[in-house]
Amino acid sequence: MSAAIETRDLTLRVNGETVGPLPVPVGTSLLDFLHEWLGLTGSRMGCGQGICHACTVMVEEEAGPREMRSCITGAHWFEGRSVRTVEGHAHTAPDGSLVLSPVQTAFIENFAFQCGYCTPGFVTGASVLVERLKRTPVRRDEVERVVTEALDPHICRCTGYVRYHQAVRDLVLATPGLTTA
């Protein structure tokens, strides 16, 4: 017995480039779409239930980016929207070398991760926070709390929380414009 799978065309922007229109079954998650259609395997399938946040991606909107869980959100929800995955945070310098984002650099400098499975989600969560603080800075004494709230939903099975937290806190405190006096 075979059931017809309803398929619709999907067009969206991923890491700054337009993708599609591509025929995609309606029930496909964004995570499967990234993995299977685009070969972008950086976003991780962890729990598949929207709990661990290893799958989160940035959704770029006028009011600033937001975090969304790609494992529980349908690919077609992103029709016409703009998504940034962990593959889209670094950029290439004129000399051809790869330049990591400030968040990625801070994670490396702080040895923030061990196995790295959760890292794409933490990069997303921390980057969304940094972008938010560029628009609405917070007092320096609020940084601890703000970083905790931003990273809190992300689960790290190697329990690297302290170093992730330290990396983001130090980055926020050291970056001009993210905090007020």
Partner 1 sequence: MPTLPRSLPAKRLGGALVASALVGAALVASGVLERSAVSREVEAPLTQEAMRALAPRGAKVAAAADCFACHTARGGAPYAGGLPLETPFGTIYATNITPSAEGIGGYSRADFHRALRDGIAPGGRHLYPAMPYTSYRGLSPDDVDALYAYMMSRPPVAVANRANTLTFPFDQRWTLAGWNILNLPAQVVTPDPKQSDLWNRGQYVADALGHCGECHTPRNALQAMRSDAALQGAVIEGVEAPDITPAGLRRMGFDPHSLTRFMAKGLSAQGGATHQMFDVVHYSTQHMDEADLTALSAYLFDRDALPAEPERPAAPAPVAVPQAVAMRASASYDGLCAGCHGHAGEGIPHVSVPLRSNALMRVSGASGLIRATLHGLPAQRFPDNERMEAMPGFATLLDDAALADLATWMRAQWGGQDKAVTPDEVARLRAGHRADASN
Nearer to partner 1, 61 or 142 (CB): 61
Which part of the chain contacts partner 1 (CB under 8 A), choosing from 49-57, 86-94, 105-113, 171-179? 49-57
User: Are 44 and 110 a contacting pair, CB within 8 Å?
Assistant: no
Separation CA 6–CA 120 (nearest Å): 31
77 sits near partner 1 (criterion: CB under 8 A): yes
36 sits near partner 1 (criterion: CB under 8 A): no
74 sits near partner 1 (criterion: CB under 8 A): yes
Query: Tokens 């939903």 belong to which residue?
Result: 153
49 sits near partner 1 (criterion: CB under 8 A): yes
Least spacing, CB of residue 157 vs partner 1, in Å: 17
Separation CA 37–CA 32 (nearest Å): 8
For 167-178, b where at least 16 C-beta lie within 10 A, e where not — what string? Answer: bbbebbeeeeeb
Residue 180 CA, distance from chain mean position: 26
21 sits near partner 1 (criterion: CB under 8 A): no
Q: Which residues bind partner 1 (CB under 8 A)?
A: 26-27, 29, 49-51, 66, 69, 71-74, 76-77
